[in-house]
Structure 1
Amino acid sequence: MSNDGLGSWSPGNASWEDIGAENGTDLLIPEDDFDHELSTYRIADILIPIFILLISIFGIIGNGTVIWFLGFCMKRNPFTTFILHLAVADLGALLSFSSLSIMRILTLFPFLPFYIYLFAVFNNLLLFMYNTGQYLLTAISMDRCVSVIFPLWHRCHRPPHFSTLVCATIWIISFLLTAINCIFSIFNILQNTILFHFLMNAILCLPLMTVSTLVLFIKVYFRSQLRKKGKALAAILLALLFFLFLAFPLTCISLILLFTPLIAFNVGSVAISVGLLCSCLNSSINPLIYFLIGRNKRAQSRESMKVILERLFKEEENCREKREVSVETRM
């Protein structure tokens, strides 16, 4: 079996042709080497899905809480619209991670039934949510960067429903890319179509997010006014930093394995597993960031997540209102 990067967890005795996976869409399809002697690689291949499942459970709870409060209990603004859609994408990715991890664990027991096409469904769902999360966070980073560099323009000339339109466009583009990948996979039109997804993420998203993160870091931590302005920018900056360190390793590892097929299969399998674990951590960590940044450290009683989110994102709205008053005064 070839080492095709993302196809490192492939099923039982089925070949790549049997499952139509020549394009590498099988992000978490397991490999049946369990009859062989257990090695360090095999132990890691068993433990990592368990860790992914445990992390996904906490992440699902956290992102579900954020979606509930931002979607149904709080008044939305352009900034929280981005955060809400990002939480939905992270929740979808974590549901895919957990489902695939459960199926991966079940395949360790040969007497249990195995459904190959379920892996294909959740693999493509994971690809859809993974790409959507990257594009949303790229849009958020650019939006925050513009709001810091050009605050007056951002407040006065930004279309009122800009955030909603951007989020809808991102969901549509990500869905179309995933649908094209599925069609190519079913009809075996072109091999390694997933390579184009990761190349686009690496070429387009990575530079934009890196530049935006550097600009936000310089503006927030080297200018006292912005440092005092609120916690929302700090939360986004942390989310961007964790994303760069946790989400992009999967893209980098996959591209390396796709371009270097001579790497040992066990090494590639563990590398992909580690990349998936990092991506799972990234999808789970944002609610924790909101909680730690938004909470009142001086409060003696425990605050609810709703209060923390209101404080965190209310500061952003207050800053926008102050800029509007400042503009009107200058006029």
Structure 2
Amino acid sequence: MNQTLNSSKTPASNWSGPPGETLGVTTRVLSALTILTCVVGIAGNGMVICLLSFREQRGPFCVYILHLAVADLLFLLCLASELILEASLVANTGHTIYSDHTVHMFPTVLKAFEVLRRMNFLAYTVGLSLLTAISMERCLSVLFPIWYRCHRPQHLSAMVCALLWALAVLLNVIEALFCREFWNLDTQQCFTVDLIFSLLILALFTPVMALSSFILSVRVQRSFQRRRRQPTRLYVAILASVLVFLTCALPLGIYWCLLYWLDRHLWTDIKLSYSIFFSSSVSSGANPIIYFVVGRRRSPGPREALGTVLRRALQEEAELEPGDTPSTGTNQEGV
């Protein structure tokens, strides 16, 4: 989470190792693995952005996926930049980012690092809220298929994405105003703002996303038992993305929230944080892989273009492939 820069008692000052010591072997390995994962994820999300940006007609979920890819790309870029910046600082000075030596001798580097962390938090918030919106809308399309097909606003996806980006920016601006160094505010005020926003994100977006995904999975399971029909690829892609986020990325939000109460040995803290960073990078980099795995042709055939595979993964209706048996009824539940 974002921290004040002018107090040695803030949790941020204990985020890295003590002054004069360098990162251990474990943290170096985790940092290298995280950077490698970020590079792969940046390439994958960049490919998704390019493929979806040049499509003339985009469905509602394509709009969500496009914005989610942008948020994941921003998150991975900021995370990789943070790790590279800290690794360079340790290699050149032997001190970590929040050591007393860095605070006094390299304040510009520290401020740049804080900007990256704020951008990281922005991208994380947007990604979490977008996954919540995706799972909620897919759940509504299953529970209320007639409303979804006939009365859903045409530009709802674009409006929701714009509102979620605006909300995330507003949260970061308010947080920056309360935690700016030159305001000379009590660190307790910054702590209160950080804590409120952390609980808001974890207590609002995450439960809604988990609940809607659970309802969707139960409804689809019942539909499969009655009709013996496989769920659409879009459902599989959404559910897989949500499960990966809850498993790999949610610990980062919990860690940010609980950072104020963590009272561990400094080396234990930094190993924990680097492990969580690696896990969150896996989550942001896994989404493009999920889309292309889900969208690939089930039956053997000639190699397809990536755009075709992505389109198949994000389409709302089931697609008949060679060897599939046409259904005698319409899947009214949209799964």
Aligned counterparts, 1:100-119, within 5 A: 100-111=82-93, 115-119=109-113
Aligned counterparts, 1:248-267, within 5 A: 248-258=250-260, 260-267=261-268
Normalized against structure 2, the TM-score is what? 0.81
Any idea what SS the aligned residue of 1:108 has?
helix
Normalized against structure 1, the TM-score is what? 0.82
**Residue 148, structure 1, aligned to residue 130, structure 2:** no
1:235 and 1:45 mapped to 2: Cα distance? 32
2:164 and 2:66 mapped to 1: Cα distance? 14
Any idea what SS the aligned residue of 2:294 has?
helix
Match of 2:98? none
In structure 2, give the amino acid aligned to 1:196: I
Alpha-carbon RMSD? 3.0
Match of 2:6? 17
Match of 1:235? 237
CA-CA distance at 1:264 after TM superposition:
2.7
Match of 2:130? 136
1:227–1:47 Cα change, 3 Å: farther
CA-CA distance at 1:35 after TM superposition:
3.3
How many residues align structurally? 304
1:227–1:239 Cα change, 3 Å: farther
Match of 1:56? 38
Match of 1:191? 190
In structure 2, give the amino acid aligned to 1:35: E
Can you list the C-alpha shifts for 1:211-242, whole angstroms capped at 9, x where unaligned?
A: 11211211223322595352111110110111
> Where does structure 1 differ by over 3 angstroms across 4 or more consecutive aligned residues?
21-24, 29-36, 111-114, 314-319
Match of 1:10? none
Match of 1:35? 21
In structure 2, give the amino acid aligned to 1:298: S
Match of 2:100? none
Aligned counterparts, 1:273-312, within 5 A: 273-312=274-313
Can you list the C-alpha shifts for 1:57-95, whole angstroms capped at 9, x where unaligned?
A: 000000001011111135211111111111111011011
Any idea what SS the aligned residue of 1:301 has?
coil
1:311 and 1:226 mapped to 2: Cα distance? 21
1:285 and 1:226 mapped to 2: Cα distance? 29
In structure 1, give the amino acid aligned to 2:137: D
1:119 and 1:227 mapped to 2: Cα distance? 50
Task: Report % sequence identity.
Answer: 32
2:151 and 2:21 mapped to 1: Cα distance? 64
Match of 2:167? 173
In structure 2, give the amino acid aligned to 1:180: I
CA-CA distance at 1:185 after TM superposition:
1.7
Match of 1:80? 62
CA-CA distance at 1:155 after TM superposition:
1.5
Match of 2:221? 221
CA-CA distance at 1:250 after TM superposition:
1.2
Match of 2:248? 246
1:81 and 1:162 mapped to 2: Cα distance? 10
1:188–1:65 Cα change, 3 Å: farther
Q: Which runs of 5+ in 2 are unaligned?
A: 95-104, 321-326
Match of 1:313? 314
